[in-house]
Amino acid sequence: TVDRNQNRRRIKEVENSFGPSAPELFTPGRFLKGEGTLMKQGRKKWDQKMFFLFNDILVYSSIIMNNRWYKNPKIIPLKDIMLEDMEDSDDVKHQWLICTPRKSFHVSASSDEEKKAWMQHIEACQQSLLQESVLPTKTTYAKSWIPDRVAQKCMRCLATKCGFVVCNACSKGRALIQHINPNKPLRVCKVCNKTEDDKNFRLRGGSSGLWDDSEETSSDEE
């Protein structure tokens, strides 16, 4: 149909806007639902990003020229997203939290109406996926990092596990965080590191060196 042809042409235009290293976004059954700029909170400051909402994924990227050319696209399956409404602060209005297993971050719209529209459209797409039995029943989400400017001193860690801020001298611990990167040890604070050590100790059966079947079974279910 004409609508499908227009949709395919528009998705190809989005692909081309990323240049030679563009991700392949078009796939049968995928539709572009909306697009626009939002402010995204980074470690040091808020930056304007371009967001593209499809019926099954959310794509955001940096803007390099006149809202027409983009780079470093990040693609997030909608099945992995949880939204959390946030109240206005003195510095930031119309914000909400986008949570994913690998990364969670704040975004801000230019108005309350725009914020509600984004959240409602994302949730509507997720409802459609839920009806198709695509959404998982349980997901572990990454903590949102506290911006550097908010941390006047070491708060315990800038750890991937708990999201707190810590100086380098206080964050020697590393641990595998399965839902973020099961192969690369990531920085964790002393509290998180001790928690991981205690959990591993319990799984080994404490000082007896024997496996505790009940603990192992409980861990696997989680």
Judge whether residue 28 has pLDDT over 60. yes
Q: Does residue 140 surpass a pLDDT of 90?
A: no
Cβ within 8 Å of residue 101, ≥6 positions away: 80, 139, 140, 141, 142, 179, 180
pLDDT of amino acid 172: 65
Q: Report how far residue 101's alpha carbon sits from residue 211's, in angstroms, rounded to the nearest whole number.
A: 30
Query: Domains (ranges, CATH) in the chain?
Result: 4-130 (2.30.29.30), 148-200 (no CATH)
Please calculate the CA angle 135-139-141 and round it to the nearest 5 degrees.
Answer: 125
In the chain, what percentage of residues exceed pLDDT 90? 48
Question: Rounded mean pLDDT of 187-210?
Answer: 54
Contact 116, 109 (CB under 8 A): no
Instruction: Give the torsion sign (CA, 59, 117, 66, 31).
Output: positive
Closest CA to 25 of 68, 65, 83, 74: 74
Q: What is the pLDDT of residue 178?
A: 61
Look at 99-113, 124-138, 142-156 and tell me which has the smallest mean pLDDT. Answer: 142-156
State the residue for tokens 């980074």: 42
- Determine which helix (DSSP H) or strand (DSSP E) holds 110, and give its type and residue range: none
Tokens representing residue 219 in the block: 């861990």
pTM of the predicted protein model = 0.63
HSE-CB for 217 with a 13 A CA cutoff? 3
Q: What is the pLDDT of residues 4-13, one digit of tens each?
A: 899 999 999 9
Averaged pLDDT for residues 183-197: 66
Give every CB contact of residue 205 below 8 A, 6+ residues apart in sequence. 211, 212
End-to-end CA separation in angstroms for the chain? 46
Q: What's the rounded mean pLDDT across residues 83-94?
A: 94
What is the average per-residue pLDDT within 87-114? 94
CB atoms within 10 A of CB 159: 26
Residue 120 has pLDDT above 90, yes or no: yes
pLDDT in tens, 143-183: 555 555 444 444 444 545 455 455 555 556 777 666 566 67
The predicted pLDDT at position 3 comes to: 85
Rounding to the nearest 10 degrees, give the CA dihedral for residues 25, 56, 4, 22.
Answer: -10
